[in-house]
A = this chain, B = another copy of it.
Amino acid sequence: MSVSKLRIGCAGLGRMGKRHALNFLERTPRAELVAASTPDDTEIEWAKEHLAPYGVKLYKNYDDMLKHEGLEAVVVASATAVHAEQAIKAIDVEKHVLCEKPLSTNVEISQQVLDAAAKKPHLKVMCGFSRRFDASYRDAHRKMTTGDLGSPSVLRSQTCDKLDPSGFFVAYAQFSGGIFVDCSIHDIDLALWFFGQDGKVKSVSAVGITAVEPDLRKHNDRDNAVGLVEFYNGKMAYFYASRMMAAGQEDTTEIIGTKGKVTVNAQPQINLVNTYDNGGVHREIPQHYYDRFEYAFVTEANEFTASCLENKPVPLKLEGAVQAVRIGAALQESLITGQKIFFEEDGSRANKSRL
């Protein structure tokens, strides 16, 4: 008797690519990492040491990897700029796709992935919003779904990075789509998850500052930003994103229902240790999002694999990933123009100055 495993390849071996590759190699029992691709020589060297000895075939060219004999699925973990292109290519040659977020920083390009996937309904195409796979967020969603806490009405959520004193995020801002598309996209996805994915946006407005990195303005970005999103169904969400946290990663969410609320990570901590000294009581918190969401990524890999092998729907719909980019891009626009943006119920821009 033998067990068939999902033969998957990993596109991109940068920071997240390495993690996805190792997760599929070591922590996804039903998957077999058979290939990996990267144009980067340093990454190839890393892969020769960490992947090749376990039977993973390495490719410098993504298109070549797609032709790997027996390949069934691809995890796209390359630079954001090529997410959509690589995802579409994989779909075209009949591979299942797990794509890192965002599909693209551009709404239209994101939509192209959705369109490509729509033509191949037998393929599993998923955009990896890691929080959907996090045990705490899932528990919060389950509790909110029981109805005991009433109707979810207000969502507050933040994605706040520890300050990187190297200022790397300034250069990065050139390609990131801006802080709302890069960071708040997770919070926006949570709003869609908790409020219902077909909630229609009525207005967005945003304000931001550059408290530590004025140079961000060159790339139309800010280091701290707050956004407000109003939905037609009488719900609202507000988001805070920051590149300036001193203590570490602070991704916190609260979902407020008419009869109660749930909070996720309102009291951040890296583990169960508290230290007492003559300065008081201290605890440490996660430094980066992977410290916080490591196991969510493992769950994501396993559940995507199960969906492919068992031909069942992926846990989150691709439409939401496009909608999240749409909202994020509108918030970013509002952040830069200073103008509040209104939408009609059909999604088109509204002119509210008549109000």
Contact = CB atoms under 8 A, between A and B. Distances in A.
Contact of A238 (B226, B278, B353): B226
A256 B242 contact: yes
Interface string A264-278: 111111111111111
Interface in A273-320: 273-285
Most buried by B among A26, A140, A274: A274
Contacts of A25: 29
A154 interface: yes
Interface stretch (A34-42, A58-66, A89-97, A229-237): A229-237
Interface stretch (A117-125, A173-181, A207-215): A207-215
Q: How many copies does the complex hold?
A: 4
A2 B209 CA distance: 54
A23 to B, nearest CB: 11
A65 to B, nearest CB: 20
A70 interface: no
A20 to B, nearest CB: 15
A19 interface: no
A209 B235 contact: yes
Given A244-B256, A266-B267, A339-B355, 15 more contacts: A148-B277, A153-B211, A205-B340, A209-B235, A210-B234, A224-B236, A246-B261, A246-B278, A247-B261, A259-B278, A262-B275, A263-B273, A338-B355, A339-B340, A339-B352
Nearest to A338: B355
